[in-house]
Structure 1
């Protein structure tokens, strides 16, 4: 049994933000922190007070996390970025919203006394005395304190207050991981109602000391317990009255906390086997459970359930059969084939990056002015053409058409060359869809429908949205500027084209359609798909030429035989799957002493399920390997260690078992967390994973973080191996997918029972299946029995696990 917590985060938009620049505007972006640890940075939206981000993330966390905070910042090129405001959601707040928090939240001012983090290690005991008992407080150490000084650290000390008396520890200079090991005693009067307050402060020579957090204890409870020792989370000072703030604007968020208790694999086998059997039987299955699940799924969670089901059947090798079943069910209906979209999202993202990535990169790098609408041409934005002569409107339009034709041609060429690069499950899905549509519409006048069905998924729901919003498909780190956005928009411009007679409505995904070059090619240049605006006409020759290319591509895509697919899969299976790759900077040490003279060198890194390797270039034959099995931890490094907040360390053992550390510098917080997540996921099952580590470096004769002189010291901070970001290329987690399906079915169990009652005959229509014998031969009854068994398994697991109660001594004062 394993407890897993995750946060689904969607940062939608902001409104009415204050102007931070002299231009009367701002350049806002968001930083997301979990327990004061930055894990996400959105793209910057330039020159606006009402930014739209629309970015989605899923973060896996330990169940002990406390809060998630959203900081809205204003990016500045020449000075430190300004903090506009923040929204903080505690774990308790999120737990009160089972369907998630969704809506607008007012930005609050960032109060330094509330920006606390970290924990303090204390030992408290009541010591009997000859005259009176004494309260003994041992201040041992602290970890992960907030850095308050420019050097990226603090100079912490601790004040202990009780009954009007105050005692202080010594000051530890330049450390967020101080160790004091100092003890204080106070005379304790029986029945005293005073609280013991332990405060951490950052000492400053010139300005006032900075507050780092506090812990307050109830002395009466301590008297009853006699002794208590442990790590206590530092809390903000909320005793001061909050002063009135100006209007800082609002942030629209969607945040959902999901806590799942995942049982051992064997518990889910009956559910998985039952669903797999139904898929294998197809539409002639006795109970048709898949249609019932689809029917009872609400619109708001339809896509989530579709993705989870697809992942479940991908793990069982039945994705093609599942999608084929859905295609058969959807043909003739007016609803859309929603799992096909999920298939592309789950299995086709790497393929999308390979096909579309170079075209998107070229558009971003060229930054050409592109406009086809004469009413929107701004000649002054284009520049001059030869001998400093301003370009005419006609020249701008012709040059723009030529640029778009070039991009479209490059995309079509990349597609036609990508048949064998297309994932096997995606090819099989398209082959089944093509065959089913052709069987359903066999007449000659509908000969284009199978091609349109395939391209409606490939172009309309995958390639065109990625062209319009490359940041949301992980093709770019930042949103496009205004000029680049217009180029992308003309390649994939949204138009409401209404219903089309050429194809069934389920193919078209009711609502907006792309009246653009890419989608017109995808629609096989049917009359209803041609450009409505006359100014789009210059692209039509390229569209007509692309139709033949795309038809040839689809023909080859759906004609690949099963044997050829198996041969290709065997070839790929001999290679270690690539998890992540890209350039990073590795720390190189020169001289005899460790880290005496250092520099970072740019190398190309590749992470597979076997090793982390790095070389000078991606094609270099000579590379250095760190075996995956030897990795013991992947953690962040303190900013002060290398004057950078984007450095991580990979702690591993070499071939003879000696501990080693590689320091890697990333370009931004997102890249840092993506690499940390990837390394943690692939090494999560390693033996010998560390539970603690040093966030600093061993420089000279001591650790820079806690100042300990023993290089082999176990570490002053706890590792965070369970904090990861979900990525599109993550390996499947079969038990979690089965648990999520079970959780969904529990939510619709009442509806399923009503359906079962309607299908059963006789006087026992209200009865519940009581065992395998009664459910035998009735798939829906079997499903209800499986749900009942899983419910009992969860109850047994909860009854057998110890509950983690909060300390009775800790009493926060507000």
Structure 2
């Protein structure tokens, strides 16, 4: 049984951010880190202390991740960007808010440089028992992806070890975030934990802390550390700025699923497919209708996404949308409420367009967006913010983009490109377009193993100062963290597991419905048998009354839920037994 953990978060907006520029404004953007590694960046909102981003991301994470952090920075055209503040959320905090997740305003906290560590260190430690006492042999091999502490965007790192009252340190390697020391440091006759610290050497002022790892005496004796280890900050409580640094509105939700083998999900998938391919005359009695009825408004978008992916994988997305749309029309009595935004039909259509249309949108807009960046043209989508002196150039670039669309893409492409420049957009929709365009033009294509955490400005990368825009990234991306998008491969088992999770949450409603329908069935039977025995009814040729179809649909769904629940319990018990056997052997 596989385990899948994903983190969905939306950086909605900020408020009351402090001014970092002489003009009394800031140019804020957000960087998102998982365990001190950059995984996402929002667009910059220029000259605004109450920015709206509205950008949404999905991360596929390892099971052992520790925390998620959001940093707000002020982008500067000269020098380093100013850090405004951060919000740090532990895995436990996010998990405690499940299944709905976090959706609130959170105050920014100040950033302590000693806590802003990143990267890993490669060690090989041995504890040797000798006649005169213990000897600790610590081979410090290398480190990678260290935090930049100097204006050059690099550091001058050296490592220092502490064992009891003794300490030793390596040589300093200048101007790198990927130092290779390959030094063996030995200490004699001490006991206690081993602490390895990494520092940035400075000629003037104090050295800057880059991170540490610590191993207990038990670990040194029983399982001497060997391999790569994540650098950690010094333990300290996060200071609350009391809202003086502003706040972010965030939506964060953690989904951790145990995925069973495919065979266990087939009955559920077949029930859903049957609802579409062999619909009942009464569209309220299908398993798919039951799923819609017991789901909450908050979970309907997730259900729509899962259904679209399941049916798309089977080549049945169009029949699914036909079924949902016809059901929506037949159930609506007031035309003003037709295809309301929170209906399953509307959500499914929206998710289908994102799933199928987003890659096409990226392909259509990417050449135009890249050309704008290369030519450094001024583009403003909000007509209220267009400077009169630049109106002519804006119109020219818009015309060029439209011409490019007309000359190179089909009609749908023209509509998509032109839609981005329609002036009557609300702020939320406008930022969604900006987010889609920005994601289409990112330099780190195809989830490369490295990235540039900075930006290419002034003919060089601000992070590593390299002058080649296409050069390989200077920071390693996490091998287990991937940024999910609509291009994620279809995984029917994962989607079916999430549908099962939604049904599990609505099981009490299903049971209540089953009881109600069963009671109605009993009443009907009692009416039939009044004054007429079962034998007389059989002789009269009156057919036996069938169970109400709604009760049948509910019963089938409940049976599938119970089978999946039992399968999960069986596999979990097997996992516990394997862990117990492993503990005994060790």
**TM-score, scaled relative to structure 1:** 0.55
CA contact (8 A) 1:160 1:167 kept: yes
1:755-783 residue CA offsets vs partner (Å, 9 max, x unmatched)? 223333689xxxxxxxxxxx9x9443332
Q: Cα 1:21–1:466, aligned 2, differ >3 Å: closer, same or farther?
A: closer
Q: Does 1:279 align with 2:267?
A: no
1:110 aligned partner: 111
Residues matched between the structures, number: 520
CA, structure 1 residues 421+11, in 2 after alignment: closer, same or farther (shift >3 Å)?
A: closer
Contact 2:107 2:242 in 1 (8 A): no
Structure 1 partner of 2:168: 167
Residue matched to 2:411: 418
Q: Which residue of the partner structure matches residue 72 of structure 1?
A: 72
Show the counterpart of 2:433. 473
Matched position secondary structure for 1:154: coil
Residue 502 of structure 2 is aligned to residue 744 of structure 1: yes
For 1:657-676, list aligned pairs within 5 A.
Answer: 665=470
Deviations 1:594-642 (A, max 9, x none): xxxxxxxxxxx9x8xxxxxxxxxxxxxxxxxxxxxxxxx93116789x9
Deviation by residue 1:639-673 (Cα, 9 ceiling, x = unmatched): 89x963689xxxxxxxxxxxxxxx9728xxxxx9x
Aligned to 1:202: 200
- What's 1:724 paired with? 482
Q: Is the 8 A contact 2:382 2:423 kept in 1?
A: no
Give the whole-Å Cα distance in 2 for the aligned partners of 1:239 and 1:21: 30
Residue aligning to 1:341: 350
How many angstroms does 1:115 deviate by? 0.7
Instruction: Indicate how the Cα distance of structure 1 residues 85 and 329 shifts in structure 2: closer, same or farther if over 3 A, else same.
Output: same
For residue 20 of structure 1, report the CA deviation from its aligned partner. 1.0
Q: What's 1:157 paired with?
A: 158
CA deviation after TM superposition for structure 1 residue 477, in Å? 4.5
In the TM superposition, residue 382 of structure 1 has moved relative to its aligned partner by: 4.6
CA distance in 2, matches of 1:748, 1:804: 32
1:644 aligns with 2:449: no
Report how far residue 226 of structure 1 moved.
6.5
Residue 322 (structure 1) aligned with residue 80 (structure 2)? no
Change in Cα spacing, 1:785 to 1:465, as seen in structure 2 (3 Å) is farther
Mapping of 1:207-226 within 5 angstroms? Answer: 207-219=205-217, 221-222=218-219, 225=222
Residue 792 (1) aligns with residue 566 (2)? yes
Deviation by residue 1:35-88 (Cα, 9 ceiling, x = unmatched): 222232222222221112122111222223322221111122233221111111
CA contact (8 A) 2:460 2:469 kept: no
- Give the equivalent residue in structure 2 for 1:81: 81
Kindly provide the CA deviation profile for residues 672-692 of structure 1, in whole angstroms up to 9, marking residues without a partner as x: 9xxxxxxxxxxxxxxxxxxxx
SS in 2 for 1:44: coil
Q: 1:741 to 1:727 in 2, by over 3 A?
A: same
What's the secondary structure of 2:411's corresponding residue? coil
Q: Name the CA distance, whole Å, in 2 between partners of 1:241 and 1:70.
A: 14
Contact 1:74/1:83 (<8 A) preserved: yes
- In the other structure, the counterpart of 2:182 is 180
Q: Which residue of 2 aligns with 1:526?
A: none
1:250 is aligned to 2:247:
yes
Distance in 2 between the 1:241 and 1:728 partners?
A: 36
SS in 2 for 1:46: coil
Q: Please name the residue that 2:544 is paired with.
A: none
Q: What is the CA distance between 1:726 and its match in structure 2?
A: 2.6
For structure 2, which runs of at least 5 residues remain unmatched after alignment? Answer: 523-548
Identify the residue that residue 526 of structure 2 maps to in structure 1: none
CA–CA distance in 2 between the matches of 1:743 and 1:638? 38
Alignment partners' CA distance in 1, 2:415 and 2:102: 38
In 1, the alpha carbon distance for the partners of 2:195 and 2:567 equals 44
Give how far 1:353 is off. 6.7
Note the C-alpha offset of 1:114.
0.5
**1:800 shift after superposition:** 4.4
- Secondary structure of 2:302's counterpart equals helix
| 2:291 counterpart residue number | 293
Equivalence for 1:486: none
Q: In 1, distance between residues paired with 2:453 and 2:368? A: 36
Quick one: which of 442, 448, 456 aligns to 1:634? 448
Inter-CA distance 104–322: structure 2 relative to 1 (3 Å threshold):
same
Distance 1:68 1:365 in 2: 34
TM alignment of 1:545-624, pairs within 5 A: none
CA distance in 2: counterparts of 1:146 and 1:159, whole angstroms: 17
For normalisation by structure 2, the TM-score amounts to 0.74
Aligned to 1:690: none
Q: For 1:782, which of 536, 553, 556 is the aligned residue? A: 556
Distance 1:466 1:742, change over 3 A: farther
Q: 1:16/1:163 Cα in 2 relative to 1: closer, same or farther (>3 Å)?
A: same
Say if 1:55 and 1:472, in contact at 8 Å, map to a contact too.
yes
Contact 2:171/2:181 (<8 A) preserved? no
Q: CA deviation at 1:254?
A: 0.8
In 1, Cα distance between the equivalents of 2:174 and 2:88?
Answer: 31
Asked if the contact 2:161–2:194 (Cα under 8 Å) also holds between the matched residues in 1, the reply is: yes
Relative CO higher for 1 or 2, CA cutoff 8 Å, sep ≥ 6? 2
Consecutive unaligned residues in structure 1, runs of 5 or more: 372-377, 386-401, 424-458, 479-579, 586-604, 608-632, 648-662, 667-671, 673-694, 697-704, 706-716, 764-774, 809-814
What do residues 689-729 of structure 1 show as CA deviations (whole Å, max 9, x unaligned)?
Answer: xxxxxx77xxxxxxxx9xxxxxxxxxxx7x74543323334
Question: After superposition, where does 1:743-762 map in structure 2 within 5 Å?
Answer: 743-760=501-518
Report deviation, 1:223.
Answer: 7.0
Which segment is superposed worse, 206-215 or 12-21? Answer: 206-215
**What is the CA RMSD across the aligned residues, in angstroms?**
4.9
